[in-house]
Chains A and B, each alone.
Chain A
Amino acid sequence: MGLRLPSKVLEHILSFIDSNEDRNSVSLVCKSWFETERKTRKRVFVGNCYAVSPAAVAKRFPEMRSLTLKGKPHFADYNLVPDGWGGYAWPWIEAMAAKCPSLEEIRLKRMVVTDECLEKIAASFKDFEVLVLTSCEGFSTDGIAAIAATCRNLRVLELRECIVEDLGGDWLSYFPETSTSLVSLDFSCLDSEVKISDLERLVSRSPNLKSLKLNPAVTLDGLVSLLRRAPQLTELGTGSFAAQLKPEAFSKLSEAFSNCKQLQSLSGLWDVLPEYLPALYSVCPGLTSLNLSYATVRMPDLVELLRRCSKLQKLWVMDLIEDKGLEAVASYCKELQELRVFPSAPDLDEANIPLTEQGLVFVSKGCRKLESVLYFCVQFTNAALLTIARKRPNLKCFRLCVIEPFAPDYKTNEPLDKGFKAIAEGCKDLRRLSVSGLLSDKAFKYIGKHAKKVRMLSIAFAGDSDLMLHHLLSGCESLKKLEIRDCPFGDTALLEHAAKLETMRSLWMSSCFVSFGACKILSQKMPRLNVEVIDEHPPETRPESSPVERIYIYRTVAGPRMDTPEFVWTIHKNPEIGVSHLAIK
């Protein structure tokens, strides 16, 4: 054997490598590289909490400082995963508490986090600094209080869209009385009132505070008082803006905002009355991120605001912006990178908004840096998709939700195959794609063939047959996450491409035609896949050919999980045992 890199040298080299993908590659080179890498990895990311056991992760990365975990499948965001499915944080917190006491940061997404978990975190990690919970549930404000009280070095506490049992605003008073090290606080998802005096005092004794996201219970008066105490904020989530306009209140608000010279990101703005918008004008020129998705502001007030935001990179807005508003965005917001347009009336019967595919076409033409799109629209055309693909080949994320299922190109009555073909072919860097509208198997042939870098693909109400799945699983080289709903096929393609499933993180299929028989065969064929059948009715009481309600298939080295609820059926790898409920808690 030739020269060998001394481990100290390798360690030094690795200290420059942050990306976990690169570190994963490094760890595959040879045993000594594996060892050096694992002892130096500080930031650990586990995309599926059931893919590996907490103990194994804790053991492998003893120097872990930051842990990021994801639990439930993405479609849980849209109520497609029944309550109680799983994704419990406890085993992870327990394992880390035992093996990695130097842990400083925990970020959890779509997991069940209890007050016990939070108390354990507070008690176990002396240098704990960052807690970010996104779309989590299972805890109350008591758990938050424990974190606030005990974690003396807490810098970041963010509750993003969590479902929290809100026992009142007392938790705020648990932060240390002396100065805090808080840099970011986000409690926008809590419902109940916090004492404004508690908030004011907290803000006053948090000199490092840069990001503050309030909940809707905080009034405009409260906001003014807080802004006065924290003019250094770079990110602000306001409370509710719905108060009656009084001229004195307006000028105070205006003045408070104009003193926030470093504000870059603005959100909240619940029910903001158009009369209040001019109070924001002073911060507009500096804004890079604006989230108006809870603001019921319509045109032309929206344009008055947006035309002042020349540095805007990220815009989230309701479809109340209409096509003409987006035309204005295209001409004023030349730095725009990310656009999300949400439906203000998700029930089709009420849809009367003049937002069409044209709005997105305007932005695609005018905003050269646009790379991420989420667009809800009642119907679409192939021509628009072709234009978007042609104008914006740099798109990295394209999620189009045509709200009317099976809606064809409304001008030609054809499926949207050609349009999505253009997107897949033209946008060579596309990493994430969501398709909708009327789509035949052909569309997926194109996607399979051309979408080489797509890692995450979401499909609803589409395709004609098993061919759709066949095209996707035999193409899409980079596919990691596939989620499908309401497409009536499955078995053949699934079994044919079983090996592909091991190269992916997960596959979700609900309201499709995947039979229980196929699930059994798949599970027995693939030892390193967990095949979960999520169905209220025991699959064994029905013929093997009948479809199951939902399946969730993911690769794992941890074997079948032990915490499944009644409605999750894990198919045993041993054919003689059949189906079981491995519900040992």
Chain B
Amino acid sequence: MEFSEHIKTANVEDVVLRQPLHPPGRGTLCITGHHLLFSDREEGSCRQVLLLLRNIDAIEKSVENLLTCSGLFSNAGLSQRLSGSSGTITIKCKDLRVLQLDIPGMEECLNIARSIETLSCLDSMLELYPFFYRPSNASLRDQWGLSSLERHYSQMKELHDRWRLSTVNRDFSVCPSYPQAVIVPKSTDDDMLEKVAKFRQGGRFPVLCYYHKKNGMVIMRSSQPLTGANRKRCTEDEQLLQAVIDGSDKGYIIDTRSSQQALQARMTGGGLESKSCYSSWKRLQRQMERGKALQESLIKLVEACGEESNNMDRWLSKLENSKWLSHVQTALSTAGLLAECVERDGHSVLVHGSEGTDSTLLISTLAQLIMDPSCRTLEGFLTLLEREWVQAGHPFQQRCAHSAHSHARLQQESPVFLLLLDCVWQLWRQFPLALGFSEALLLRLATEAYASDYGTFLGNNQQERCALGVKENTHCLFQALLRPRERDCYSNPLYENTELAIWPSVHPQSLQLWRGFFLRWTPQTHHLEEVQEEIRNMVIEWGKLALSSPVST
């Protein structure tokens, strides 16, 4: 298809761009199928701003037919101004940046606005930029992705006794949102798995997601059982779970819904594992907010952060009212509970909510970061995200279609992944030496999940990605983040491996607003970035000396 049919005006001269942290600039604005390009024409500067249209969450336009003397460029362009109409487009990005374009000419302004509106939310995934992005330093034949479940399994020798790799889902027919290979107890054959899949929402039967080497306990995840109102049973499901805790006295099920929610789910065909049928499993209900409520929480928080008010009471009450930090607290403490069950109490745990694609992944990921040092390196963390979010079928396309500024009616949007990154940031704050990656990485991921040059977060699951040929036709973000230059920027200079679990504090006093993300475009945050730079330099300086200097005798 042709993007050009959506572009009536491709170039506008004499546009003024206002963006945070920079003085306003005057220059040329171009719009292409995927980008907004602004080149500064001011004397002595040749600044360019390239904005992925997909990054635009919402725009507001206002046009004026009257003479407006901005006063900002009183010496320049007075004649153009006099000639009449102009318009302003305010662009609100998914990375929370807000830009403003003053465009001479009403028609040009409306044309640009219309192009942005259409091109920023193209429906067809094949039209998205990742399929067109061809950087010079990478080839489409480069390795795609960091690992696969097959490789993960073959590396984990200790699994091989009791666990096997099943390819029952090789054509995605058993569970459309699972990858082709999954790890399950050795004693369950593929026939059983197919039956269990029918008993779990979306076919998401219990699979292994983490094996705790210190005591052999595991974390399993799934979706809710489809017991329904008449409390159906599935012997295969019960057998599968029994096989998980073979040799142990019990296991825990962490259900990310309240008891009431779980019971209510029966009315719509869902349900929970009853005590009578799963006698060796102890259920823990921990309600976590999901879906729309989470999206609304994000919208409220971003709104509070964008407000120019000088009133402390108002700010604190809006911060409280958004409930975002409460969600952070709940996520971290549920993950803490999960890790505690495995590491300290020494039992295996099954995690699920209803669909098993959101809060389930959130807490299983956090628990792994808490317990497993190998997840805390830059590579380890990206591999964890690839396994637990991309391959495990977090529906990125649906969840990250819009962010906090959008006026579009909410559908499946929910900032679960952003909540994960916020929780990881909290961990990073509390254990600044224990994680091998930097805040910059978390910020980059927060941006990429919503709008990206890369194919990694395209689609909702592996099946969709296969159908689109993501692997063949796009580049992989995770690979790109590990190239030497990026690696320097995204690794934590203070990192030192520790084998210990890192238990986060979940007291309200210990949790903070993630200023680096939510207030990213304020000068204060810029000061803090300078500090990170300073720290990096100190460590480099020290490292150089330490390496070059022989110990004096």
Do the two chains belong together in a single complex? no
A residues lining the B interface (CB < 8 Å): none
Contacts from B to A (Cβ < 8 Å): none
